[in-house]
Amino acid sequence: MAEPKENPLMEKIVSLCKRRGFIFQSSEIYGGINGFWDYGPLGAELKRNVKELWWNTMTRQRDDVVGLEATIIMHPHIWKASGHVDTFADMMRECPLTKKRVRADQVEEQSGTAISFVGCVSKQTLDSILVVLQPTEQDDAGRNALVKWATHIVTTESMPLEQQKALAEKIMSETKGDVKKAANVVLQMHVTQMLRDNSCREPFAVLLAAGKPPESARKIAAEFYGARGINEPILLGEQAAKVENSPDFHPESRVRLGDPRPFNLMYKTQNGPVESDENVVYLRPETAQAIFAQFKNVLDSSRVKVPFGIAQIGKAFRNEVTPRNFTFRSREFEQMELEFFIKPDEAVEAISGSVTSASQLATLDPQPNWGWEAWHKYWVEERIKFYEGIGLPRTTLVEYWQKPEELAHYARATVDILFKFPFSKRDAQGELMGEELEGIAARSDFDLSQHERFSGKPMGVFDEELRAAWGKLDDAKKAELAKRYHDARLKYFIKTGVEQAKAEKDAKEDADGLAKGQYIPHVIEPSAGVDRLILALICNAYYEDQMPDEKGKMETRVVMKFHPRVAPIKVAVLPLLKNKPDLVKKALMVRDLLRPHMNVFYDDGGAIGRRYRRQDEIGTPFCVTVDFDTLGEKPELLDTVTLRYRDDGKQDRVKISDLLPRLLEKIR
């Protein structure tokens, strides 16, 4: 379904982002570039906070996850192994006139009168034939007959050469030397060929809005066929038909779209000075593959063992067909991805005697008997907790479990965490349905297996615990687990195109390996987009409320209610007046006291109420005002300041010495 074109709330948010320096259009002074966005001073701070919070939560606060920072351009075989070269594509349709593309599933529906043509023939050709034939009938009738013949020709398949020859021989024998008859047939064939060579058989249609004359469609069609090399085209087979809510016409040109074709989303470039097919490389479309490619190096160089994870934050690039919804679908964006490697269920069962399924989970504290289902559920919960911890309430999120038919062939389960963006579609009850913020996929052992096959380097691990446990199993259990593992491996090999005999041999080897403590780890992948999260935080923070101004009169205030953890500026320090050196000195002292611990903004310009509003609008959760009481005008208030809270505008009197611990408690 097409999204609503206008969204007043989004318009306000986009405008605030520009006005206050959160997000700007990239290259704006040159008219911008579609799908690319820059973060201004406040956006850059917000983004940095979000990435740091993710990094700390996912790596530093855990014993079982380590980090990685890989290059954007990698060996192109990585993208062959991952499947991106062959299948990372969106179905798209192209306007044959303007060459503009749209995603096949996102074409806006349109109505009107479609004027269509089956093709065209060159006027010059038609004229030259008429000169030779010198029709005895009136000129127009001869011409019309010829146009009819041309229409027939462009709509029927041309005759293969062999058939033409056979036909010519047949004519010669049938006319038994009647030269006149034979000459007529040969002439007819010649004319046919001329028309064929100077016509275009591509059908074309354009949708006219109500009241527009067909002549405008003919003009556009002439432009289209002109671009196909037919000058002064005579349009053939014109028809008009009413069209209602059709997804077949380009929303801008209103020309009928071509058939859906896959369009690879990877940006290609050349590595090194020589332009050749061997030097083609890609800007990574996701950060995950580097983690798989470096899996062995990380394992061998760090004190980690399965289960453990590798986390990475970095840029990704996708040549999205239709970037839209502000930064939601960009062409350059950042991802925060974790690959969490776990033992295959057969290994868990051999070691622990059984595997806990998701429905039996009594605790979300990782346990040795957790299989992929439990780990997957654990990560879904961890990630939702993360979002709650930075100010996205659970009610703004949707946990969407992909249906079996939506899953990639290697995925066992995928949960998309959706955020209810203002531009999300609504369900029958009018509730926002949400758009993907993060996907959490149980990807089996597909990725490492692919890299093992394509690189020829082993990606398996040796698990001493498994080897020891296996020795203690009875034969029936050994056989059962080995068979299950064998069957899963065989399925993977067959699905990825390995020929049957080799697949069976390799699957057997893998099952034998399991008995010796070897396996390729499975993986759970929580994969989030930084930019989408920033947009979600901005949309979630935007409020308009009523607050009294300096004179107590109620006014509408725009306030960004960011969670203090992510807020770009944590505290603004404001001297009541800027022309009182003692006030300024004290305020600068407070600023310097706080600055090593948080992002502080010092503002001495304008009325205090206006300064509060400026901070509200950029989401600064606290304002500290230094006034005459701070200097001891009321002796009992010496060295105290006013601490103002953004959300309700309430104020506390706080000792300067208590300020830092008070604020730190709130922003950490």
- Residue ranges binding ligand ATP (CB under 6 A): 286, 318, 320, 329-330, 333, 335, 436-439, 527-529, 531-532
Please report how close the Cβ of residue 531 comes to ligand ATP at its closest, in angstroms.
Answer: 5
Please report how close the Cβ of residue 437 comes to ligand ATP at its closest, in angstroms.
Answer: 6
Q: How far apart are CA 196 and CA 190, in angstroms?
A: 10
**Among candidate residues 208, 173, 182, 190, the one with its CA nearest the CA of residue 128:** 190
> Which amino acid is located at 340 in the chain?
F
Q: Closer CB to ligand ATP, residue 106 or residue 193?
A: 106
- Give the chain's end-to-end CA distance (angstroms, integer): 42
Q: How big is the CA angle at 229 (ends 227 and 223), to the nearest 5 degrees? A: 35
Asked if 413 contacts 402 with a C-beta cutoff of 8 angstroms, the reply is yes
Please report how close the Cβ of residue 316 comes to ligand ATP at its closest, in angstroms.
Answer: 7
Q: Closer CB to ligand ATP, residue 414 or residue 642?
A: 414
Q: Closer CB to ligand ATP, residue 20 or residue 532?
A: 532
Q: How far apart are CA 415 and CA 431, in angstroms?
A: 20
Of how many residues is the chain composed?
668
Asked if 110 contacts 256 with a C-beta cutoff of 8 angstroms, the reply is no
> Which amino acid is located at 461 in the chain?
V
Q: Closer CB to ligand ATP, residue 112 or residue 323?
A: 323
Q: Closer CB to ligand ATP, residue 317 or residue 372?
A: 317
Q: Closer CB to ligand ATP, residue 346 or residue 438?
A: 438
Q: How far apart are CA 426 and CA 164, in angstroms?
A: 61
Would you state the torsion angle of the CA atoms of residues 499, 505, 507, 511, taken in this order, to the nearest 10 degrees?
A: 180
Please report how close the Cβ of residue 103 comes to ligand ATP at its closest, in angstroms.
Answer: 10
Asked if 402 contacts 415 with a C-beta cutoff of 8 angstroms, the reply is yes
* DSSP 3-state of 578: coil
Please report how close the Cβ of residue 512 comes to ligand ATP at its closest, in angstroms.
Answer: 35
For residue 511, the cross-strand partners are none
Q: Closer CB to ligand ATP, residue 528 or residue 537?
A: 528
Please report how close the Cβ of residue 528 comes to ligand ATP at its closest, in angstroms.
Answer: 5
Q: Closer CB to ligand ATP, residue 329 or residue 570?
A: 329
State the residue number with the nearest CB to ligand ATP: 529
Q: Closer CB to ligand ATP, residue 312 or residue 356?
A: 312
Determine which helix (DSSP H) or strand (DSSP E) holds 178, and give its type and residue range.
none
* DSSP 3-state of 336: strand
| 475 Cβ contact list (under 8 Å, min separation 6) | none
Please report how close the Cβ of residue 463 comes to ligand ATP at its closest, in angstroms.
Answer: 29
For residue 311, the cross-strand partners are 67, 338
The number of beta carbons lying within 10 Å of the beta carbon of residue 444 is 21
Omega within 30 of 0 (cis) for the link into 458: no
Please report how close the Cβ of residue 386 comes to ligand ATP at its closest, in angstroms.
Answer: 14
Q: Closer CB to ligand ATP, residue 233 or residue 285?
A: 285
Q: Closer CB to ligand ATP, residue 439 or residue 513?
A: 439
Eight-state DSSP code of residue 37: E
* DSSP 3-state of 233: strand
Please report how close the Cβ of residue 308 comes to ligand ATP at its closest, in angstroms.
Answer: 21
**Among candidate residues 316, 328, 270, the one with its CA nearest the CA of residue 289:** 316
Please report how close the Cβ of residue 344 comes to ligand ATP at its closest, in angstroms.
Answer: 23
**Among candidate residues 311, 298, 291, the one with its CA nearest the CA of residue 55:** 311
Please report how close the Cβ of residue 491 comes to ligand ATP at its closest, in angstroms.
Answer: 23
Q: Closer CB to ligand ATP, residue 320 or residue 603?
A: 320
| 561 Cβ contact list (under 8 Å, min separation 6) | 391, 540, 541, 543, 619, 646, 647
| 557 Cβ contact list (under 8 Å, min separation 6) | 544, 545, 546, 547, 613, 616, 617
Please report how close the Cβ of residue 356 comes to ligand ATP at its closest, in angstroms.
Answer: 27
Q: How far apart are CA 567 and CA 621, in angstroms?
A: 7
